[in-house]
Structure 1
Amino acid sequence: MNFIAPSRLQSGDTVAVLSPSAGVPSLFPHIFDQGIQILKEEFGLNVKEWSTARADPNHLYHNPKERAENINEAFADPDIKAIISSIGGDDSVRILPYLEQEVIQKNPKIIMGFSDNTTFLTYCNQLGLVTFYGPTIMAGGISQLQGIGEEYKQHITDLLFNQNDGYEYKPFQYWSEGYPDWSDPENTGKINEQNLNSQGWNWLQGQSIKKGRLFGGNIEVFEMMKGTKYFPEDQFFDDKILFLENGEGTTAVNQIKRMLRSYGMKGVFDRIQGLMFGRARDYSIQDKEQLDNVLMNVIQDEFHQYDLPIISNMDFGHTDPFSILPMGTMAEIDCKQKRIILIESSVV
């Protein structure tokens, strides 16, 4: 499949903000407003909020069609250059029947989110669009940008505003897990204590150079999609670099083992060129070590893939800052040099 890269963002562009999943902005408007302000002041963007952006959680829950229509309308609007989700949730899978394939395919543009947003990012990616697994307005680093720093601002600029073939991913110097209580407006824009990223990424396996198109998302959300017509066919995984991450400590390591085993039974590990796993949220050091062991045991011992690159503890998922991963863009993993590089641009 040939993937269509969207136009890069420029200062003065208008981006759509909507809530395809949970109505969290209505519960913590100060966190949401901070994210909107960051888009305007730090990146020079104009923001157009759709009807779902600040809608009541109960209203959104009962109206999956409206959530999908917001996405359709944002794609169809020629003034909109990007679509950014407010936050994740747990039921955006219900919007998929209402997405308009033709409208989306005819109007490629940046669409970004993570976690539960895996559903519609996967849908659009299967239509041939490059989609962006990255921060939402409220979580992942946009609302918290001033507390994270210039390194992350530059990363967002490099991935969304600049042509980026040759971009090399590197571990961020610091990372944090979760946020101070959002119900207190004094915590707006704040992150929990930062940890020095002295360990970096864990290069668990692989000796060669592998190339493939990025694809992935939240492992629990993929479980909701499996068995539906919206989960990719087996051949879609051919020559992909698969990335996976888990939610906020909701999934035990043994459950992830069973999920990974199902990918093995589908033959996914025979098809892909590499596996990247995000830094696990709410896991102890021992849990993370156990997760690394599970990755190795399942992929190497159970499914006999001995040279498939496996990298864990990477800077994406439910910790901050969040490396933006453009799904459908060609990347290279160099195991000997321990480098991951985009070898084509995700924006044009």
Structure 2
Amino acid sequence: MVFTTPPSLGDDQALAIVAPSRPADAATLRIGRDRLAALGVETRVYPTADPDRDEPASPGARAADIEDAFADPEVGAVMAYTGGDDQIRVLRHLDGDALAANPTRFFGYSDNDNLRLFLWNRGIVSYGLGVHPDLVCDAELRPYTERYLRRALFEDSLGAVDPADEWTDEWFDFETGEPREWRENPGPTTWVGPDADPEEAVRGRTWGGSFAIVKWHLQTERFLPDPERLDGAVLALETSEDAPPPREVGYTLRAMGERGLLERFGGVVFGRPRTNAPPLEWDPDPEEYPADIRRVATRELERYAPGVVVGFGYDFGHTDPSFPLPLGAVATLDPTGGTLRFGPE
């Protein structure tokens, strides 16, 4: 199948802010729009993202907003305000042919990975990052996030992605605005399957996203691609602020193996796991949890995909700062140095 990277944001085009999951908060929406304006980006707020809305719009209305934004020639990019937990209900209302006829750069992750996997099935490349929290936390937009957001908005491909110099696992308090504590980033690590060439780079289109969303799509099956379309692809996963128990991650990878899916991937990249978030009902250890994720992942991948190359600890997903992981783009993962590059096609 042919994939399309939608055109970059034009000088005479606006970025549409939509809310496919939850409506916007007035204060953080204003911060996000101001920071996008500082990048030279004009924004338009669509009805579902109206901060005066108390409840999410109906799934049909949320789908209509997405379709309207894609169809508007004056809109060159669409960004989700934030995530949530029910966007899968929106997908049945979407006209995939209409979206494919008007490919537009979409930005979002977490619950928005539902839409991104829908777009993947239509051959449309999409990007991570959203207004909240990525553009609104801290006293200013993190330079790392800004660098890769500019590329995703204005360039043909993301190119080589370097590790951030520093990162944080702390939740930003919007009431106090207290600075968060940042720590040195050790960078990604690589695991090479026993049947893989440790010196050969893996190149394939990315598929996946937040672990919970991938799991929903495996459970519902309605929006999974034909398995052969995943041959040679790069599976991208991150565990979000839910921090699922490592055994659950292992069980899901095992189920993918039993379905004959894991063996199709040539590479896997994991985002740095978050261990600190208000919704958590347990207290994962910030040192042990990433190591446990790596342990269960490599166990299942060695069983089902011994020819795969795996990178752990990349700066995408629910970590700070992050780059806008492009789903559907061609990724090159080099096991010799753990380098990661997106594009050219």
TM over 0.5: yes
State the SS of the aligned residue for 1:327.
Answer: coil
Paired with 1:273 and 1:260, the residues of 2 have a C-alpha distance of 15
The residue aligned with 2:42 is 46
The residue aligned with 2:180 is 192
Contact 1:204 1:292 survives alignment (8 Å): no
Moved more, 98-107 or 147-156: 147-156
- Where do residues 301-312 of structure 1 align in structure 2 (5 Å cutoff)? 302-303=303-304, 305-312=305-312
State the SS of the aligned residue for 1:311.
Answer: strand
How far does the alpha carbon of each residue in 1:205-239 deviate from its partner, in whole angstroms, 9 at most, with x for none? 25121110122211111222223311223223112
Contact 1:145 1:152 survives alignment (8 Å): no
Contact 1:331 1:342 survives alignment (8 Å): yes
The residue aligned with 2:149 is 156
The residue aligned with 2:278 is none
Contact 1:212 1:330 survives alignment (8 Å): yes
How far does the alpha carbon of each residue in 1:292-320 deviate from its partner, in whole angstroms, 9 at most, with x for none? 111111111x32x3331111111011111
Tell me how far 1:149 sits from its aligned partner.
Answer: 3.3
Contact 1:180 1:192 survives alignment (8 Å): yes
The residue aligned with 2:81 is 86
How far does the alpha carbon of each residue in 1:63-106 deviate from its partner, in whole angstroms, 9 at most, with x for none? 11111110011111111100000000000000011111221011
The residue aligned with 1:136 is 130
- Where do residues 1-348 of structure 1 align in structure 2 (5 Å cutoff)? 1-23=1-23, 25-26=24-25, 29-41=26-38, 43-54=39-50, 59-60=55-56, 63-132=58-127, 134-140=128-134, 142-144=135-137, 147-164=140-157, 167-182=159-174, 184=175, 186-187=176-177, 192-197=180-185, 199-205=186-192, 207=198, 208-226=200-218, 227-282=220-275, 283=284, 284-300=286-302, 302-303=303-304, 305-344=305-344
Tell me how far 1:289 sits from its aligned partner.
Answer: 0.9
Contact 2:18 2:65 survives alignment (8 Å): yes
Tell me how far 1:112 sits from its aligned partner.
Answer: 1.0
Contact 1:17 1:49 survives alignment (8 Å): yes
Contact 1:179 1:191 survives alignment (8 Å): no
Paired with 2:224 and 2:180, the residues of 1 have a C-alpha distance of 35
Unaligned runs of 5+ in 1: none
Paired with 2:160 and 2:66, the residues of 1 have a C-alpha distance of 31
Paired with 2:145 and 2:83, the residues of 1 have a C-alpha distance of 21
Tell me how far 1:249 sits from its aligned partner.
Answer: 3.6
Say if 1:91 and 1:275 are closer, same or farther in 2 by CA, change over 3 A.
Answer: same
How far does the alpha carbon of each residue in 1:160-214 deviate from its partner, in whole angstroms, 9 at most, with x for none? 212337x2111111112243333x1x52xx76321210x2112122512111012
Moved more, 224-233 or 257-266: 224-233
Tell me how far 1:58 sits from its aligned partner.
Answer: 5.7
Letter in structure 1 aligned against 2:17: V
Contact 1:215 1:328 survives alignment (8 Å): yes
How far does the alpha carbon of each residue in 1:267-295 deviate from its partner, in whole angstroms, 9 at most, with x for none? 22211110001111114201111111111
Say if 1:332 and 1:145 are closer, same or farther in 2 by CA, change over 3 A.
Answer: farther
Paired with 2:124 and 2:139, the residues of 1 have a C-alpha distance of 31
State the SS of the aligned residue for 1:119.
Answer: helix
Say if 1:92 and 1:249 are closer, same or farther in 2 by CA, change over 3 A.
Answer: closer
Say if 1:10 and 1:64 are closer, same or farther in 2 by CA, change over 3 A.
Answer: same
Tell me how far 1:250 sits from its aligned partner.
Answer: 3.9
Say if 1:239 and 1:323 are closer, same or farther in 2 by CA, change over 3 A.
Answer: same
Tell me how far 1:148 sits from its aligned partner.
Answer: 5.0
Unaligned runs of 5+ in 2: 276-283
- Aligned pair count? 330
Paired with 1:228 and 1:49, the residues of 2 have a C-alpha distance of 33
Contact 2:138 2:172 survives alignment (8 Å): no
- What is the RMSD of the two structures over their aligned residues, measured on CA atoms? 2.0
Moved more, 244-253 or 287-296: 244-253
State the SS of the aligned residue for 1:231.
Answer: coil
TM-score normalised to the size of structure 2? 0.90
